[in-house]
Amino acid sequence: MKSNHSNRHVNASYSFDLPSNNNNSKQDDSISCSSLNIDTTSHLYYLPSHINKLSNHGQTLNKRLLNSIVNYKNGLIINGSLFDEQLFQVTRSSYITDYANTPQDCNRFLEGHNRISTCSQLDAHLYKLSFIITLSDWYIDKELLLGYYPHEDDEMKILEEISPYKHFCFPELNPKQRNGGQMLNDQSTYIFTRTLSDGHMEYGYCRRLTKDSNRITKFPIVICIVSSHSYFKLYDAILNELVKAYMSNELECNLLMQSFHSKPLPIPTVNSSGVTCILNDRRIFFYVCPRDDRLNHDYYSTLLSCLSPYQIIYLFEAMLRSKRILLFSHSPSKLTKCCLALSLLIYPFLWPYSFVSVMPSSWISDLLDSPCPFIYGCLYETKDQIPKTLDNDLLLVDLELGEIDGNIDATHFLPFNLRQTLEFSLDYLIRFRLMKSNSTLINIAVSEAFLYVFIELLHRLPDFFKRDNPLPKNDSHFSICTNYFQRHDSGIELEPIDLQQITQNEHKQQEENRLGYEFNSEEFLRLQPMSSYVSFLKEFIHGMLFLKFLDDYQRKEDLFSLFTQRLNERRQMTIDDLSINQLVRFRQTFDLLEKQIKLTPKQTNPSFSKFLKKIFE
């Protein structure tokens, strides 16, 4: 069964739910909510006449909502949600400034690299390593190293260190046949991922060249930066400079690789100055490290341009159900961005299974036999290697045609009202915002739309989750107790006293204490407002995604700052706040965000202004 991107709107009309005055919160969605039909003829929305009775109250709330902007410390509170001030600064994060005409003492200061950063650091170096690689023939394992930093005296050690990465630089190479010059021509930055033995992720940022010193080369050249940090915009900006340098002079490019590597990567804070580097043509490179990770990339815009809201939500549900997903595209850039976008949609949860944003063609046949869930990005040419008969839990996503192939399940996993609100929110972004708004705003909007689903489902979590004995901060391993893969249904059953069962419960309690937290799942489920929420959570809270989340949540609070912020905002909402329809709130919030961004004066980023001011002091 296939789902087509063109069939974005299956019906001529939709409906979403408004809370009714019924106080019986335990009823199902279809009973406790009144339906609001929206006719989408000619892409116009019409409200039926029976909604007019809500107009007086709704207009008052909407008027208050429309004007709800409050300045708060380092950001703005818009409709009850806090957004970082960096969102309202200039959209560019990197700046290239010519300092050739500045005073001589400033030139000496800059060229001497005497300025020492006092900011806390994520890493002593901007990235782990960088290298330039090409081919000596159209076969796999015929790679030729042209440049590398940091330098090593032992050449064999260098080759050994880049060995895990070289296949990702030319993922189209196949050991069974000669490519015959049919190489990818995508010159945009793409990102490969590699999971280390300790569970941490490495990211490789690659840019492909077909010219060397303005001459067309026989074999493509790839410049690659490897880092443990997901800072796409930073490394994309660095690759821009490395490509320019390499096109003019290879030696300048090698010196620039060395210069960038020597810079520390600061922890993003209010007082951090960002990344500063002196370029070879008397220019300053400056990058502001955003405190909000959603400002680090533009993945969601790519995903929205390839798939429909229905398809994106279907894949979202498939991930929550731990399905196996293969994505295909001719473009490594499009492919890797869509894969990474999917992995970020499930925040605050982390995909605990195998994830490869671009799979080397030589590996795919070996890895497809894995019974475990996975997300793999594959080049379009490898579709021929996929078996004609698909497993029940395998989905094939064609990003070029906008199709999903596989055993498409007609039933939905998410509660109906949350799924419907999510689909309308994405549809609104695609129709009215995707081509007009910048990628930063799209990132924030998509992230908030999906995060709202988890906030609604889990806003009672703090009442039933207790941290007992947090594990040491340096313990990064995911501990699994014996009952992690057992299914437990909620409810109370009256049975005779069973000493064996009591013993098992004591062991279970000991395991919970060892993990450092207690989670009262039965009470958490019992107090859910809708039966559809209970049905979803009953299955979801016993899955690996949720169990991994609980393990991280009790000892790595810094990973969940945005989730905690939105959770607290939801728990502080009044009855009037909750009576505002979420779709209305979503649209008005991001209309206000866009207006605030447009009001930003077209000037240099304040962080960069402070940096220049310090230079001249």
pLDDT greater than 50 at residue 122: yes
Domain encompassing residue 379? 300-413
Report for 50-64, 129-143, 485-499, 590-604: range of highest mean pLDDT = 129-143
Alpha helices in 390-438 (DSSP H): 416-432
**Which DSSP letter does residue 559 get?**
G
Cβ neighbors of 558 (< 8 A, separation 6 or more) are none
Write out pLDDT tens, residues 280-299.
Answer: 666 788 888 888 889 889 89
The last residue of one of the domains, among 388, 413, 438, is 413
Cα 278–280–284 angle (5° rounding)? 30
Write out pLDDT tens, residues 19-47.
Answer: 444 444 444 433 333 333 333 333 333 33
Residue 494's pLDDT is 32
* Pairwise CA distance, residues 584 & 576, whole Å: 14
Q: What would the 3-class secondary structure string for 230-281 be?
A: CCHHHHHHHHHHHHHHHHHCHHHHHHHHHHHHCCCEECCCCCCCCEEEECCC
Pairing, β 201-212 against β 215-227: antiparallel
pLDDT greater than 50 at residue 457: yes
Residue 140's pLDDT is 74
**pLDDT class of 565 with cuts at 50, 70, 90:** very high
pLDDT greater than 90 at residue 375: yes
Judge whether 361 lies within some domain.
yes
**pLDDT class of 58 with cuts at 50, 70, 90:** very low
Mean pLDDT value across the chain: 76
pLDDT greater than 70 at residue 13: no
Over residues 401-420, mean pLDDT: 86
Query: What number of other Cβ atoms are within 10 A of residue 489's Cβ?
Result: 10
Residue 501's pLDDT is 52
Same-domain pairing of 186 and 237: yes
Q: What are the tokens at 137? A: 């023939």
Query: What number of other Cβ atoms are within 10 A of residue 243's Cβ?
Result: 19
Cβ neighbors of 526 (< 8 A, separation 6 or more) are 490
Q: Percentage of the chain with pLDDT > 90?
A: 34
Residue 271's pLDDT is 64
CA 472, 478, 480, 486 torsion-angle sign: positive
* Pairwise CA distance, residues 313 & 392, whole Å: 19
Report for 87-96, 242-251, 551-560: range of highest mean pLDDT = 242-251
Judge whether 136 lies within some domain.
yes
Taking a C-beta distance cutoff of 8 angstroms, is the pair 551, 479 a contact? yes
* Pairwise CA distance, residues 276 & 608, whole Å: 10
Same-domain pairing of 143 and 243: yes
Same-domain pairing of 311 and 251: no
Report the range of poorest mean pLDDT among 67-76, 216-225, 425-434, 565-574: 67-76
Residue 98's pLDDT is 58
* Pairwise CA distance, residues 168 & 354, whole Å: 16
Same-domain pairing of 133 and 252: yes
DSSP string, 572-589: T--HHHHHS-HHHHHHHH
- Amino acid, single-letter form, for residue 325: I
Q: In what order do the strands lie in the sheet with 403-406?
A: 2-4, 403-406, 394-398, 324-329, 374-379, 354-359
pLDDT greater than 80 at residue 320: yes
Same-domain pairing of 202 and 313: no
The last residue of one of the domains, among 413, 442, 459, is 413
* Nearest-10 Cα torsion for 360, 366, 369, 373: -40
pLDDT greater than 60 at residue 8: no
Judge whether 282 lies within some domain.
no
Taking a C-beta distance cutoff of 8 angstroms, is the pair 210, 177 a contact? no
Same-domain pairing of 223 and 328: no
Cβ neighbors of 540 (< 8 A, separation 6 or more) are 320, 546
Same-domain pairing of 185 and 310: no
Write out pLDDT tens, residues 155-197.
Answer: 788 888 888 898 899 888 876 655 555 667 788 999 999 988 8
Q: What is the pTM of this model?
A: 0.79
485 backbone dihedrals φ, ψ, rounded to 5°: -105, 15
223 backbone dihedrals φ, ψ, rounded to 5°: -100, 125
User: What CATH number corresponds to the domain at position 144?
Assistant: 3.30.450.200
Buried b (16+ CB within 10 A) or exposed e, 80-112: bbbbbbbbebbeebbbeeebeebeeeeeeebee
Over residues 128-137, mean pLDDT: 90
* Pairwise CA distance, residues 412 & 314, whole Å: 8
Taking a C-beta distance cutoff of 8 angstroms, is the pair 250, 147 a contact? yes
Beta strands per DSSP E along 539-581: none
Residue 97's pLDDT is 58
Same-domain pairing of 219 and 351: no
Tally of domains in the chain: 2
Judge whether 248 lies within some domain.
yes
Same-domain pairing of 395 and 254: no
Judge whether 336 lies within some domain.
yes
Same-domain pairing of 332 and 212: no
E strand or H helix that includes residue 210: strand 201-212
Cβ neighbors of 553 (< 8 A, separation 6 or more) are 348, 465, 517, 560
Taking a C-beta distance cutoff of 8 angstroms, is the pair 355, 344 a contact? no
Judge whether 350 lies within some domain.
yes
pLDDT greater than 60 at residue 16: no
The last residue of one of the domains, among 371, 392, 413, is 413
Report the range of poorest mean pLDDT among 86-100, 113-127, 221-235, 256-270: 86-100
Over residues 305-325, mean pLDDT: 94
Judge whether 551 lies within some domain.
no
Judge whether 548 lies within some domain.
no
Same-domain pairing of 249 and 378: no
Residue 400's pLDDT is 95
pLDDT greater than 90 at residue 470: no
Strand partners, 111: none
User: What CATH number corresponds to the domain at position 306?
Assistant: 3.40.50.11500
Over residues 512-530, mean pLDDT: 80
Chain-centre distance for alpha carbon 254: 32
Cβ neighbors of 284 (< 8 A, separation 6 or more) are 95, 96, 97, 99, 110, 276, 277, 278
Same-domain pairing of 361 and 235: no
Report the range of poorest mean pLDDT among 143-152, 266-275, 488-497: 488-497
Report the range of poorest mean pLDDT among 283-297, 411-425, 428-442, 590-604: 590-604
Query: What number of other Cβ atoms are within 10 A of residue 211's Cβ?
Result: 14
Write the burial class of residue 501 (CB in 10 Å: 0-12 exposed, 13-18 middle, 19+ buried): exposed
